[in-house]
Amino acid sequence: MEQVKSKQQKPYGTVLIKAKDILDYLMKADDPPSLADMSAALSSSKPTILKILNTLDMIGFVRRDESTKRYYLGTELIPYAQKALDSFDIAKVARPFLENLRDETNETINLGIVRNDKIVLVEKLESPNSIKLESIIGGTMNMYSSAMGKALLANYSREHLDDYLETHKLKPLTPNTITSLPKLRQNLKTIQEMGVSIDNEENQPEVLCLGASIMKAGRIYGAFSISSPKYRVNKERQSNFIRLLLNTQHAIEQTL
């Protein structure tokens, strides 16, 4: 509802929007752009772009290299970014979407973040059905055996994943836990292709979980999952869960 309301409001001062367009372009550019590059890319005249750049340079949001005449993001943006990250609450952002997912699936929905190479459960929306699953907010799970953990491991860089696997023994929690490194690596490749991870009684007997990561611009914010007693999930229902997970993932990441 809040997003709809903001769309109906008219912006005060279009120069702020143009300034954001410039900052966005600088953030995404592979190489530092010139004035001409930005004018062409943003479909705005050089004098207009230059006036805004000069102001952004004056306040430290942009830096101009005098020898190359190219532009960079300024260091004055760093404290703002750090403050935003410190105050960011993924649970607050994701909750409306997770509530919708719970209502659509009638199963338990979990939200987790990574702390010390473990998944920490920060949100749990219980299924309206009678069976309750064994997990508590603040509790931890292994990354290699949980749907949320595997969804994130599948997005790690090769170096990061190698470091994790070298420092963590794959201990069996159930007969289905993957304890073979080659099998786990293959499973993670499958997750990359599907976009969704599956914990098939690997973390808890008789429980099936499907998970997805929450990422944007290369930053990992967390992961979420649908958890259900395995007997309630046939192939058709599992396919529907995967579709709903991907839709929810897209909606959350668009909001970030």
Pairwise CA distance, residues 62 & 225, whole Å: 40
User: Which amino acid appears at position 221 of this protein?
Assistant: Y
Within this chain, domains 11-82 and 88-255 share the same CATH topology? no
What one-character-per-residue DSSP string does 62-123 give? EEEETTTTEEEE-TTHHHHHHHHHHH--HHHHHHHHHHHHHHHH-SEEEEEEEETTEEEEEE
What is residue 10's DSSP assignment? Answer: P
| pLDDT single digits (tens) 56-75 | 999 999 999 999 999 999 99
CATH number 3.30.450.40 is the correct assignment for the domain at 88-255: yes
Pairwise CA distance, residues 154 & 215, whole Å: 12
- The pTM score is 0.69
Q: Return the percentage of the chain with pLDDT > 70, whole number.
A: 93
Domain ranges of the chain: 11-82, 88-255
Number of H helices, E strands in the chain: 10, 8
Pairwise CA distance, residues 108 & 94, whole Å: 15
| pLDDT single digits (tens) 69-125 | 999 999 999 888 777 666 568 888 999 999 999 999 999 999 999 999 999 999 999
CATH, range 11-82: 1.10.10.10
Pairwise CA distance, residues 176 & 71, whole Å: 54
User: Which amino acid appears at position 108 of this protein?
Assistant: T
Provide φ and ψ at 174, rounded to 5°: -145, 170
